[in-house]
């Protein structure tokens, strides 16, 4: 398979590593598993949250640098464990596509493979956590296995979407769902992290505050999906100017084709090229919902501020929201510079993280939850 996206053939499943390379991959997994099984439990859970947040941000970097097909097979790179071992094949692909401006280059290969290495480490950490939880449950029936097993199932599904992102040739919906899978994995990991901490007080907040926080979290997740849909369709510059779109508040937008989800990159379902009006709909929809999101999250912050234990968290979320709006405007005004675009994705992930923590802390438990052995 070459780096030419237009001539490549999509496949639902492939495993490109041969015996020796697969053994190297498995050896790395076993090493991480061994280290995780020996790590102190609080540090292990905190490390999972930290690496998942990093992975979401680095995934944005992969997408924004067009490195998703830097290694067009999975899980290896042209059948090898590292791009260094595949330098001949990478060089051939670069020559065939007429330079490094195409899908494949040494830089893009390393970006894509580093993303896969971190994802593999996260998967191994989650498996180790589930094993440790299961072993602890044999001694203490009070230990719950639901969330550790859900994390295992979700990271397997996320791995499949990572593979499909490559083998289905960057189909926008698959890439967007891969992004959302990482964000939801962050939500699950953060929830698990909170459940295993006893240094942060929980508050029995009122039903209105809890409802607003849940609404804010769900709305933020939907906005992240819309942002991912903008990115995976390369619609970030479809609207020039801010706050207007191409000089007007009522741009010509093809909402039907813009939000037809199952199609190939740059195409309508019938194979015709996607129009500028469809891309405008994608970009403008993301902007319009940002207004609603600001109101919802702002209302949740005001409700949280009524409780002294949550006031600092409310301030942090409000500040992040202001930064995120500023970054979104700056991305448009300065024509989508890479650094600002990655920061825009990273702050969105941080906002999801803090809202998840807020939802957890605003719902005081009816009874104490027994955590894992330290």
- For 215-258, write each residue's pLDDT tens digit: 999 999 999 999 999 999 999 999 999 999 999 999 999 999 99
Q: What number of CA atoms fall less than 13 Å from residue 342's CA on the CB side? A: 15
Band (pLDDT 50/70/90 cuts) for residue 213 is very high
Q: Percent of the chain beyond pLDDT 90?
A: 64
Q: Where are the alpha helices (DSSP H) in 16-72?
A: 19-38, 41-64
Cβ partners under 8 Å of residue 220, min gap 6: 293, 297, 348, 351, 352, 355
| Residues 364/201, Cβ–Cβ less than 8 Å | no
Across 96-100, 147-151, 189-193, 317-321, the highest mean pLDDT is recorded for 317-321
Instruction: In whole angstroms, give the CA distance from residue 40 to residue 199.
Output: 17
Whole-angstrom distance, CA of residue 54 vs CA of residue 296: 26
Structure confidence by residue, pLDDT tens digits, 271-329: 999 999 999 999 999 999 999 999 999 999 999 999 999 999 999 999 999 999 999 99
The whole-model pTM stands at 0.87
Structural tokens at position 270: 């019938």
Residue 331 pLDDT class (50, 70, 90 cuts): very high
What's the Cα-to-Cα distance from 253 to each of 47, 239, 308, rounded to whole Å?
A: 44, 10, 45
Cβ-based neighbours of 101, under 8 Å, separated by 6 or more: none
Per-residue pLDDT tens over the stretch 23-51: 888 888 899 999 999 999 889 999 999 99
What pLDDT does 134 receive? 86
Task: pLDDT band for 141, please (50, 70, 90 cuts).
Answer: low
The whole-number pLDDT of residue 35 equals 92
Ordered by start, the domain boundaries in the chain are 1-197, 201-374
Q: How far apart are alpha carbons 83 and 105 in whole angstroms? A: 10
């Amino acid at each position: 398979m070459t780096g030419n996206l237009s001539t490549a053939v999509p496949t639902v499943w492939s495993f490109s590593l041969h015996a020796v390379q697969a053994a190297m991959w498995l050896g790395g997994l076993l090493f991480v598993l061994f280290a995780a099984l020996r790590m102190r439990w609080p540090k292990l859970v905190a490390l999972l949250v930290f690496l998942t947040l990093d992975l979401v941000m680095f995934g944005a970097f992969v997408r924004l640098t067009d490195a998703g097909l830097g290694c067009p097979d999975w899980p290896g790179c042209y059948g090898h464990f590292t791009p260094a071992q595949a330098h001949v094949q990478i060089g051939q692909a670069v020559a065939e596509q007429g330079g490094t401006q195409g899908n494949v280059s040494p830089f893009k290969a390393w970006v894509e493979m580093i993303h896969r290495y971190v994802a593999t480490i996260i998967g191994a950490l989650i498996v180790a956590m589930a094993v440790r939880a299961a072993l602890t449950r044999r001694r203490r029936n009070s230990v719950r296995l639901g969330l550790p097993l859900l994390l295992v199932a979700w990271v397997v599904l996320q791995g499949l979407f990572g593979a499909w992102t490559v083998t289905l040739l960057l189909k926008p919906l698959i890439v967007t769902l891969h992004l959302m899978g990482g964000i939801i994995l962050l939500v699950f990991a953060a929830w698990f992290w909170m459940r295993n901490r006893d240094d942060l007080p929980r508050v029995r907040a009122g039903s209105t505050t809890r409802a607003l926080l849940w609404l804010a979290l769900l709305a933020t997740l939907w906005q992240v999906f819309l942002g991912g849909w903008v990115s995976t369709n390369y619609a970030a510059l479809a609207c020039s100017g801010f706050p207007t779109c191409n000089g007007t508040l009522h741009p010509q937008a093809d909402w039907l084709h813009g939000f037809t989800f199952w199609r190939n990159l740059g195409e309508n379902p019938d194979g015709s090229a996607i129009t500028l009006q469809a891309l405008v709909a994608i970009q403008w929809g993301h902007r319009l919902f940002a207004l609603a999101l600001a109101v919802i999250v702002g209302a949740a912050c005001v409700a949280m501020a009524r409780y002294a234990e949550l006031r600092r968290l409310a301030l942090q979320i409000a500040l992040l929201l202001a930064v995120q709006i500023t970054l979104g405007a700056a991305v448009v005004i300065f024509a989508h510079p890479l650094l600002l675009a990655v920061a825009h994705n990273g702050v969105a992930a941080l906002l999801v993280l803090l809202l998840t923590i807020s939802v957890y802390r605003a719902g005081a438990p009816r009874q104490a939850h027994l955590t894992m052995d330290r």
